[in-house]
Amino acid sequence: MKQYLNLLRKVLTKGTKQVDRTGIGTISLFGAQLKFDLNKGFPLITTKKVNIKAIIYELLWFLNGKTNVHYLNKNKVFIWNKWANENGELGPIYGFQWRKWPTYDGKFIDQIDNVINMIKFNPESRRIIVSSWNVGMIKQMKLPPCHIMFQFYVNKNKQELSLQLYQRSADLFIGLPFNIASYALLLIMISQIVHLKAKVLIHTIGNAHIYNNHIEQTKIQLKRSPKILPTMIINPDKTNILDFKFEDFELKNYNPYPHIKGDVAV
Q: Which are the catalytic amino acids?
A: 146
8-state DSSP, 265: P
How long is the chain? 266
Residue-wise over 108-129: b if at least 16 C-beta within 10 A, else e? eeebbeebbebbeeebeeeebe
Taking the CA of residue 171 as centre, how many other CA atoms within 13 Å lie in the half-sphere pointing to its CB?
A: 19
Going by DSSP bridges, is the β-strand pair 108-109/129-131 parallel, antiparallel, or unpaired?
unpaired
* Spatial distance between the Cα atoms of 38 and 50, rounded to a whole number of angstroms: 18
- Given a contact cutoff of 8 angstroms between Cβ atoms, the answer to whether 207 and 170 are in contact is yes
* Amino acid identity at 160: E
- Given a contact cutoff of 8 angstroms between Cβ atoms, the answer to whether 57 and 79 are in contact is no
- Given a contact cutoff of 8 angstroms between Cβ atoms, the answer to whether 241 and 62 are in contact is no
